[in-house]
Structure 1
Amino acid sequence: MAWLDDLWALHARRDDLAVLDASGPVTGRQLTRRAMYSADVLTEMDVPAGGPVPALLTTNASALALLLGGAAADRPIAPLGPRLTSGELARLVTACDSRVIVTEAQWYDTAAAAAELCGAVVHPMPEPRYSSAGLPARRGAAAFHLHTSGTTGEPKRVPFPESVLEPRVAVSAEVIGLGPEHRYATGSPLHHIAGLGNVLTALSVGAPVIPTTRFSTSWWRGLRAAGATHCLLVPTMVEMLLAEGALDAVPLDTLIYGAAPMSPETLRRVLDTVPGVNLVSIFGQTEGSPIATLSADDHRRAAAGRPDLLHTVGRAAPGLALRIDSPDETGTGEVYAAAPHLSVHADDGWLHTGDVGALDDEGYLTLSGRRNDMVVRGGENVYPLEVENALVEHPGVLAAGVVGVPDQRLGETLAAFIVPSATAVGHGELAAFVRARLAGFKVPAHWYDVDELPLNSAGKLLRPSLLDAHLRQS
């Protein structure tokens, strides 16, 4: 059986909870019947079989029904970020070769503006109606499409066939310890792999999904009554909950995070506040995830005297092979990965991640940054992520962003943007702190204190925004 057949077999006759969103509870039987109604609606649109259907969606039961319906009808949904500009959306719709855009009501004006630019037609989200039709036995090559975040260029569309989804949900469920007895909560957007991938994992194993369209402390506090056992957050959300004294309001089994590392100080505060929680971090990308993970045991080791583990993204996910291509004298090179649950492999059988890193003797992967992020400072190569990892070790630093900036003498140098903790720390002290851990040419020349770092909706740092901020102030 394929992934969608397995999901239908689990839910189609099931009256247990599948999704609990702001509109109320939805059972597995209701979700699959709503999905088949969505499939009928999509089939009636001017969309060729197999063609991606761009959609502006948030994470809720109707959106999940649409996505499952698209997979069933061979009209694979391609969720797009609703906060993109109309011009950005129009380019993505054109690249999808689509004549339609499906949208939730709150994004209709944005969708209409994009449609006018690219000659598409806007269709509203299908109403929550039911169909008794069965799941088609023959389906298309892709169940859905996602776009990369585009932090270094135009987003690329990645298809997800059922042959990838079946092993992917098995690996993800193993990594985060998710089963039918659990409930999974998330504030991650549907158009990112961290959002959609883990939601599909929960649905596939029979764990109810508790999503929100906007993360807030009040939503978090409500997860206790909703019975949430697992939750995906980014470190900035964890910091917010710690600052508001709310992290222990929900007795989670497992707290999952990604997109950015957790500092040793934050880890200490989390475990002091909720000592029984299992912390799991996931490193991956749209083309393939999970690639590497830090397990709950890894986090306990980090708290017990191995804070260096937090500088890594963990060890290879189950069933995945990792290697470093063309390593230099320090063992650093581009990270290659291969596994059945990855969506993209090059002709040589490996996913060329574009990330630069090294593997240690225990198999932990330490990233230096993206291949395109490399800064050449006076002839020396520097990866900003390495400097950021050093900075967040300082107790006075909650978060750090580092970027290469123009320099008349050296060609490029480094600018550091610091989100300070409650304890004030001078830039000279931070420079000395970095120098004690890294070579002198890796110490930033420019320093800025900021209230927050520019992040995309997946919680990833937007380095171009840091460069713009430096240029405005220099």
Structure 2
Amino acid sequence: MTDKPWLGQYPANVPAEIDMTEFSSVTDVIKKSCETYADKTAYVNFGAELSYKQVDDYSRAFGAQMQALGLGKGDRIAIMMPNVLQYPIAVFGALRAGLVVVNTNPLYTARELKHQLKDSGARAIVIMDNFASVLEAVVDDTQVEHVILTRMGDMVGGLKGAIMNFVIRRVKKMVPPYSLPGSLTFKAVLADGARASLDEPALNHDDLAFLQYTGGTTGVSKGAMLTHGNMVANMQQSSAWLGSLVTPGEETIVTALPLYHIFALTANCLVFLKFGGRNLLITNPRDMAGFVKELGSIRFTAITGVNTLFNGLLNTPGFADLDFSSLRLTLGGGMAVQRAVAERWKKTTGVPLIEAYGLTETSPAACINPMDLKDYNGAIGLPIPSTSCQVVDPDGQPVAQGETGELCVRGPQVMKGYWQRPEETAKVLTEDGWLRTGDMARMDENGYFYIVDRKKDMILVSGFNVYPNEIEDVVADHPKVLEVGAIGAPDEKSGEVVKVVVVRKDPSLTVKELREHCRKELTGYKVPKYVEFVDELPKTNVGKILRRELRDQYGDPRSSSD
């Protein structure tokens, strides 16, 4: 067996190694694509379009104004928006000014937002006004000096954009009251920046591009330091893998996963930027009926998503009636793709659902199944170009082929480390560059990898990591709770949902009361769907909760308290 048996399974047009010299930075990709595809449509959202030329002009203006405000190379800027036209403008503009982008989930609670802003040391934030009240509660406790506010319809423009903003604020009441004195508007920033000049700093592969926050077994959200080199590498790896499936300047990709998530950020935003593709931004994919209607208005060639997204579409009336004649690429990641969903997807669309595997720490792609795969195979795929994977035992030694161990990844897409957390970095990055993923896997004789189980105790809700310690900390903070253990329970829609097993201090504590407490401190998908009250939790002799035993005893959601 060769050291890299997977190379023998590569499609003919996929190279073993990528060319890292083509682009010096992500900004290099932005500028080259904006020039090459100037007249092509780059983004579509709510029926409004942005050409590559407009993306170039707007991002240049945004970056120039950030510099005018005193932000310089290496300063962090948080961006807290759903998928709207403002997102790529802000991200690209920030990168062109040499800033480091801190992607921020718009659904964060005040506690979560405060941690991320303080930990990253962000000096500025771009935020949708729907979430401004959350920022108001914490901004004085952070290093944020500049707040840039935007509204949903700002870049839609014209009468339609104005009506959208009015309806969202006045009719649907989706903008809670807030007060952020001294804040700037996104439109004013663009207008002022258009009159300023952008001094684009020299950037190379070692410069930081993103602080991409991810959980950890400690429950503390950590910033994965993703360099320009990491992002360029993964873009080059992924685009090489797609090969002949993609025609530059002719693709339309559906972007329903949030761009603040590493999967859509790289796969949709960067890879299809390089290809001069058109991104259809879906702002609210939870509105499945509206999502399907949107898909009916455009001929799309590619779509990415998580298992729950594909399952949702398949179960939405009208989806099966769409025109799939242009669709050539469906990529699933973020969580395991279920066989039933993959088989139904192919039957409905005529296109296989190709499973990929990655982590925030790998920018994210590490393994992808061949694009010419005909049917679901249960594997996470083959290591992509310039990437090595191995399965190791607890001592870090490679196990025999077919045996289970921890999956480790090495390649140019592996993060620099965790922001200001050398001890946490040392736990996952070996001296010779291997990233310990925490996932248990095996490799077959052809170099295909299969995830067997998760070494980490994380719960995966619709592709988002939820760490038990964070949930337990919040639940345990309730005065009527004595002890708590958090586990994942199976769920048809989300893959998994959060379940907490609680020992009450006060017998009057109800499920409703506990959930309301959690909603104040946790993003929606982290709030326990199931709560079970018990007399005691299974523990070791030193008092540590036995999570596996907890899962075995209480993993069935049907055993939950009312």
Give the TM-score of the pair, scaled to structure 1.
0.75
Listed as ranges, the matches of 1:255-274 within 5 Å are 255-274=330-349
**Count of aligned positions:** 403
Q: Could you say if the C-alpha distance between residues 333 and 161 of structure 1 is closer, same or farther in structure 2, counting changes exceeding 3 Å?
A: same
Q: Could you say if the C-alpha distance between residues 8 and 150 of structure 1 is closer, same or farther in structure 2, counting changes exceeding 3 Å?
A: same
SS at match of 1:353: strand
8 Å contact kept, 1:173–1:201: yes
CA distance in 2, matches of 1:135, 1:255: 39
1:318 aligns with 2:390: no
SS at match of 1:473: coil
1:239 aligns with 2:311: yes
- Structure with the bigger RCO (C-alpha within 8 Å, sep 6+) is 2
8 Å contact kept, 2:391–2:399: no
Q: Could you say if the C-alpha distance between residues 97 and 445 of structure 1 is closer, same or farther in structure 2, counting changes exceeding 3 Å?
A: closer
8 Å contact kept, 2:44–2:281: yes
Instruction: Give the superposition deviation at 1:70.
Output: 0.9
1:348 aligns with 2:426: no
Q: Could you say if the C-alpha distance between residues 323 and 46 of structure 1 is closer, same or farther in structure 2, counting changes exceeding 3 Å?
A: same
Q: Aligned-residue CA RMSD in angstroms?
A: 3.4
8 Å contact kept, 1:292–1:316: yes
SS at match of 1:372: coil
Instruction: Give the superposition deviation at 1:235.
Output: 1.3
2:278 is aligned to 208
Q: Could you say if the C-alpha distance between residues 28 and 353 of structure 1 is closer, same or farther in structure 2, counting changes exceeding 3 Å?
A: same
Listed as ranges, the matches of 1:130-141 within 5 Å are 131=194, 133=197, 136=200, 138-139=202-203, 141=207
Letter aligned with residue 408 of structure 2? Y
Instruction: Give the superposition deviation at 1:48.
Output: 4.6
8 Å contact kept, 1:185–1:231: yes
1:448 aligns with 2:556: yes
CA distance in 1, matches of 2:452, 2:253: 32
Listed as ranges, the matches of 1:337-416 within 5 Å are 337-344=409-416, 346-373=430-457, 399=495, 406-407=537-538, 413=548
SS at match of 2:194: coil
Instruction: Work out the percentage of aligned pairs sharing the same amino acid.
Output: 18
Segments of structure 1 that go 5 or more residues without pairing to the other structure are 303-308, 376-387, 417-443, 451-469
Q: Could you say if the C-alpha distance between residues 119 and 207 of structure 1 is closer, same or farther in structure 2, counting changes exceeding 3 Å?
A: closer
Q: Could you say if the C-alpha distance between residues 447 and 74 of structure 1 is closer, same or farther in structure 2, counting changes exceeding 3 Å?
A: closer
CA distance in 1, matches of 2:436, 2:443: 16
Instruction: Give the superposition deviation at 1:263.
Output: 2.5
CA distance in 2, matches of 1:400, 1:351: 25
Pick the aligned partner of 1:2 from 21, 24, 38: 24
1:334 is aligned to 406
CA distance in 2, matches of 1:48, 1:398: 41
SS at match of 1:143: strand
Letter aligned with residue 86 of structure 1? A
Q: Deviations over 1:311-367 (max 9, x none)?
A: x31221222111112256872222111122333464212222222222121212122
Q: Could you say if the C-alpha distance between residues 173 and 411 of structure 1 is closer, same or farther in structure 2, counting changes exceeding 3 Å?
A: closer
Q: Could you say if the C-alpha distance between residues 260 and 163 of structure 1 is closer, same or farther in structure 2, counting changes exceeding 3 Å?
A: closer
Letter aligned with residue 256 of structure 1? L
Instruction: Give the superposition deviation at 1:16.
Output: 1.1
Pick the aligned partner of 1:218 from 290, 303, 307: 290
Q: Deviations over 1:114-159 (max 9, x none)?
A: 2133353451243254738567251371223211245762222123
Q: Which moved more, 1:100-109 or 1:35-44?
A: 100-109
CA distance in 2, matches of 1:219, 1:404: 33
1:62 aligns with 2:131: no
Segments of structure 2 that go 5 or more residues without pairing to the other structure are 1-22, 150-185, 417-428, 460-486, 502-536
8 Å contact kept, 2:83–2:259: yes
Q: Deviations over 1:287-309 (max 9, x none)?
A: 102111123444x344xxxxxx3
SS at match of 1:226: coil
8 Å contact kept, 2:538–2:550: no
